Amino acid sequence: MQAVQPDQLRNIVITGHAGSGKTLLAESLALTMGVINRLGSIDEGNTLSDYSADEIQRKHSLNTSLIHGFWNDRKINIIDTPGLLDFHGDVKSAMRVADTVLITVNAATGVEVGTDTIWEYTKEYYKPTMFVLTKLDADRTNFNNTLQGLKDHFGHLVTPIQFPIEEGLGHHILIDVLLMKQLEFNPDKPGSMTVSEIPDLYLKRAEELHMQLVEAVAETGEELMNKFFEEGNLSEEELRIGIKSALVTRTFFPLFCTSPLHLIGSERLLNVIVNLCPSPIERGPEHSICTIDETPTLIQPNPDGPTIAFIFKTMSEPRVGEISYLRVYSGHLETGHELIDVQTGQIEKPGQVFTVLGQKRVPVDKLLAGDIGMVVKLKDAHTNDTLADKGTNCRISPITFPIPVLATAIIPVAQGDEEKISAGLHHLHEEDPSFKIEHDVEFNQTILKTLGETHLETIISRLQTKFNVKVDIAPIKIPYRESIRIASSSQGKYKKQSGGKGQYGDVWIRIEPLARDTGIVFATEIVGGVVPSRYLPAVEKGIREAITNGILAGYPVVDLKAVAYDGSYHPVDSSEFAFKIAGSMAFKVAFDKARPFLLEPIYSLNVYAPEQYTGEIVGDISSKRGKILGMETDVKMQIIKALIPQAALTAFHHALTRLTQSRARYSYNFNHYEEAPPDIAQQIIAEHKKEP
């Protein structure tokens, strides 16, 4: 396959809420382009995009997948993405390298939480965006309501290019107000679109929407506005030029209609992609960072320039090893092309270069600037790395992944699998940087932070299938702390005689509470040599060991001062060991007398939610012993600021998902420790006493 010039390329990402028809739309476009000869089925697990075992099992896209085809002598790269919020790391990585975003919207359900979230990503990456209505041939569809919902959510710049003559079963005719023609499709037959004049019954509405389209496009540029004022209309060619320009500047968001299951609208949508969506040249230069001084730079999509390519997805496949999906932003990429990983300085020499059709790889001589493909056998380059010719000091601005918030501990099912788990998680993290792996040293727990429960389940499943290691989930252990309310004193005397030299240590300890976050202070007030100074470090060591293991429930003790102020010694039997034991004994008794209590970690919590859910969210936070600090407004979202115990965070995640149908998001950070309520403290102490 020959290399394709940048002006002949269209890079499209299809994204939308789960179940909105992304994969089937990609399938219908592939069939219409002649890439496949029959439409695959999600239920049967034979689509181009969803080919992995876990995707077939779950009947949902879980990974980014890439397909390509040719239409009107243009190469179209289509990236199909997952819809589940748990896998939006892949959505952001795909959107990073696409030139145009197609957001699918189910005509029966309208704007959903995924639609809102993806819209925010398009703003973050400043991507040309089009809406594609799907499932217009399903029951309970309503074009007008869906259009109004899109305008309500995303503004008046959302402009319909088409509307259906009928909706629901039997739908197969569209009125196109850009062409001002009727488009009729023979269901299930690619290439069957026929173009005719608009029937009188629909002409008035078409003219109204056409004029709305003309006005919307005219408002995007001064020259078009002047032409509109002079002539009262714009030609079809002027509209095309205006739409393409407005897409790039995000001042226009067209809406198209499809029914991918029966190929209705697919042919017209391909024409739109070719004629209206920007090529890499028209999209403009790419943002990068100069590694010498970290200044922003722009990279022109020039095939004759230095080679600069960006890895946006890494995957591991059996018998193949690691494969890297990348986009070439400048120059060209070919097999054996010696490059530098700009981040690490490592020399990389890619193996065979491919374009991709789902799980099928098509070898190519080279990829030119603007093209998207795949390489194998990179030594150490992964997602977010930039490969470039030697001497090139630019790295592509990295993907910013969603922040994982659901924290779960995992434990091996079989003893001795810890290293296998660590290696497996490391490989999976290279494929999916949107989850985090943390090791809690205090409790020796491996903690996964994921975007949700399905994300967690998928990682655990992939650990088993790819690395043959099983894990169970376990509650995260909360790092409680222990402290005291009042000062107290106690003697610790360790005396042991068993023939020969004995052991003798005797010390009096006074402990005093300190201000929160002061730590532990050790001091001595011993005078007159009643305890020789050489034994005082051992006394401190005994106290600090007792502090580490805790007294009430085994948690570290914090915020107190321990003072050694009296004692005695034996000139023969005293030793550092004896005074260490004596110091520990004295501390434990004094601690029990100082009205000890438990401290629990409190986190600051920010919840971003639509206004209609704030009452229920506030109620749930309060029910979990949280404290509401206040609320702010951010555009259409309410920001609820609160404090919440760490112990309640996991339950809060599940409740928030349920209460808001996943429409809310949240973030949290450690804030401080405060005294745990007596009933909570007693429960924790009782559980500790039950432990062997």
Tally the domains of the chain.
5
User: In this structure, are 331 and 438 located in the same domain?
Assistant: no
User: In this structure, are 279 and 298 located in the same domain?
Assistant: no
User: In this structure, are 122 and 268 located in the same domain?
Assistant: yes
What CATH number should be reported for the domain holding residue 169? 3.40.50.300
CB 376 within 8 A of CB 13: no
- Bigger pLDDT: 183 vs 140: 183
Interval 518-567: pLDDT, tens: 999 999 999 888 999 999 999 999 999 999 988 999 999 999 999 999 99
| Mean pLDDT for the chain overall | 91
User: In this structure, are 677 and 570 located in the same domain?
Assistant: no
Interval 217-264: pLDDT, tens: 888 887 778 877 777 778 888 888 899 999 999 999 999 999 998 999
Instruction: Say yes or no to pLDDT of 624 above 80.
Output: yes
Interval 441-491: pLDDT, tens: 999 999 999 999 999 999 999 999 888 999 999 999 999 999 999 999 999
Domain that holds residue 73: 7-204+251-283
User: In this structure, are 302 and 272 located in the same domain?
Assistant: no
CA angle 152, 155, 161 (to 5 degrees): 100
Residue 569 forms part of a structural domain: yes
Of all residues in the chain, the percent with pLDDT exceeding 70 is: 99
The mean per-residue pLDDT over the stretch 664-690 comes to 92
Instruction: Say yes or no to pLDDT of 327 above 90.
Output: yes
The mean per-residue pLDDT over the stretch 386-413 comes to 92
User: In this structure, are 92 and 190 located in the same domain?
Assistant: yes
Residue 557 forms part of a structural domain: yes
Interval 367-397: pLDDT, tens: 999 999 999 888 889 999 999 999 888 899 8
User: In this structure, are 276 and 183 located in the same domain?
Assistant: yes
CB 318 within 8 A of CB 298: no
Pairing of strands 627-634, 560-568: unpaired
User: In this structure, are 410 and 268 located in the same domain?
Assistant: no
User: In this structure, are 445 and 468 located in the same domain?
Assistant: yes
Q: What phi and psi values does residue 75 have, to the nearest 5 degrees?
A: -90, 130
What CATH number should be reported for the domain holding residue 419? 3.30.70.870
**46-55, 323-332, 505-514, 602-611: least confidently modelled range:** 46-55
Residue 420 forms part of a structural domain: yes
**71-75, 526-530, 667-671: least confidently modelled range:** 526-530
User: In this structure, are 387 and 502 located in the same domain?
Assistant: no
What CATH number should be reported for the domain holding residue 560? 3.30.230.10
- Bridge-partner residues for 506, per DSSP? 493, 568
User: In this structure, are 390 and 506 located in the same domain?
Assistant: no
Domain final residue pick, 474, 489, 519? 474
Interval 74-128: pLDDT, tens: 999 999 999 888 899 999 999 999 999 999 999 999 998 889 899 999 999 999 9
Instruction: Say yes or no to pLDDT of 358 above 90.
Output: no
Residue 214 forms part of a structural domain: no
Residue 267 forms part of a structural domain: yes
Residue 230 forms part of a structural domain: no
Residue 580 forms part of a structural domain: yes
- Predicted pLDDT at 318: 67
What CATH number should be reported for the domain holding residue 667? 3.30.70.240
Give residues with Cβ within 8 angstroms of 520, minimum separation 6: 544, 547, 557, 558, 559, 560, 561, 562
- Predicted pLDDT at 51: 77
Domain final residue pick, 474, 498, 523? 474
Residue 2 forms part of a structural domain: no
User: In this structure, are 451 and 578 located in the same domain?
Assistant: no
